[in-house]
Each structure stands twice: as structure tokens, then as C-alpha cells.
Chains A and B, each alone.
Chain A
Amino acid sequence: MDNITLILPAKPEYVSLARLTIASVANNMGFSIEDVEDLKVAVSEACTNALSHSQNENGSYELTYVVDEGSLTFTVSDNGMGFEPDSVMAPQLDGEQVGGFGLFIIKSLMDQVEIVSRRGLGTSIRMVKNRSVCNEV
């Protein structure tokens, strides 16, 4: 089991760095192209959430990867303002709502999602994607 930790500045331009690293890790692990795309979206959504919770632009947040044989676990943790995960409602998908899709997308694409958030202390989103057995060469 390998562990990787990145500390990212809470600035929008570095979200692409999260995508690059997860794509590299997941490619090495043998995830399918579609799974790699899903992982890129999930990590971006979590980083975007971390940025929106951030209270000053000199802040930072942490992204960790745990590389296991059959799965990739990654966690995005910020020390921002926190929120009540249970209060987040499923988005309306009828064109009325223009935001609030992030967590919904993460939950749709990942196999396991765990959110721990404390008001004033920060939020941590832990996501797991299992590597499906495939016969790609």
C-alpha cells in the first residue's frame, strides 16, 4: 500500500494539478480510460468544494492518495468553514438549479464516499474507486 500526499494552494489554477496526479496514479494502477475520467471529475469536484469553503486565498488544502491493490482511496481535506453534509439536498435536474452538483456527481461516480465536516474546523471528503477487472491491453 502506497501513500501520496499533496498540499495544494487554495487557488483555482491548481485544481488541474489534482487531475493530473490522479490520472497518473490511476493509469499506473490499470484503471480503464472511463474510470480515469470519472476519477478526474471526482477529485476536481472535491477540490472545487475545498476552494469554495476556503476563507482566505493564501490557504491550502490537502489531497492524499492511498494506492491499494484493488482500489484507489483519495481524500480531500480543507480547514475551511465546514458544512452540514446531511443538509445538502439532491439537486434538481430540470434546468432550474445551476449549482450544487458537486457532491451528487462524486456520489454517482465513486464506489464509496464519506464526508466528515465540522463547522469552523473543515471538511474531509474520502472517496474510493474500485478497480474493475477488465481485459484491456
Chain B
Amino acid sequence: MGMNEEQAVVKIKGEVDIYSVDQFRESIEKSMDQKTPKIILDCTDLSYIDSTGMGVLIEMRNKTMELGQKIVMKNPKPNVKKLLSLTGVDKIIDIIENSGGKR
């Protein structure tokens, strides 16, 4: 996990499914403790995610919102984006591409 004054960065690697979802939740929760206004989930190396991960994303988005923090997903692969769109998660969590520009 990297951090500067404004944002914490969590690198999400590999696959998020029913087996790894608790670890996924824990790594986001850990970054929330840094109390930065922004938490970047770097999804460059995230190869797979399913509804178990979507559930945690929604849960964490709601939790951070209550604490005045904000989750942003960076550089998700097309298959990840498809699921984000299907479940409406892309409507409630901002997604940025590698260049840093908003989608």
C-alpha cells in the first residue's frame, strides 16, 4: 500500500472471488485507517472479479462515504469494467484510466 498526504493507494492483484474476497475487504479497510480523503484501488493487475467483489465494493463505498472518504478505481480491465457496469457499481464509484483522466 502506498500513500501520500491526499490519497492511499491499494494495489489489487489477481482474482477476487468467494475465496479471496475477505482479503480484498481487509486491504481496503486497512487503507481506510490512513484517513486520507481518497482511496485509489489500482486495478491494473486485477484479472478477475465477480459479484462477491462487487458486494464488497458497494459496502466499502458506503462505509467510506460515511467517513468522508472516497474510493476511486484505477485502470480496470475490460472484463472488470463490464461487471462494474452490469451491477451499476460504475454509477456510484468513480473510475479513472491510466492517464489519470476521468472516464
The residues of A with any CB-CB pair to B shorter than 8 Å are: 12-13, 15-16, 19, 34, 37-38, 40-41, 44-45, 47-48, 51, 91, 93-95, 97-99, 101-102, 104-105, 108-109
Main secondary structure of the interface of A (DSSP, over half): helix
Q: Which of A12, A45, A101 has the most CB of B within 10 A?
A: A101
Given A44-B50, A48-B50, does the pair A101, B19 have CB atoms closer than 8 Å? Answer: no
A-chain residues with CB within 8 Å of residue B78 when the two chains form the complex: 34, 37
Interface hits, B1-30 → A, CB 8 Å? 15, 17-19
Residue positions of B touching A, CB distance < 8 A: 15, 17-19, 48, 50-52, 54-56, 58-59, 61-62, 78-79, 82-83, 86-88, 91-92
A-B contacts counted at CB < 8 A amount to 71
Cross-chain pairs A/B with CB under 8 angstroms, 18 sampled: A12-B17, A13-B19, A15-B17, A15-B18, A34-B78, A34-B79, A45-B51, A47-B18, A48-B17, A93-B91, A94-B91, A95-B91, A98-B55, A98-B56, A99-B51, A101-B54, A101-B55, A105-B51
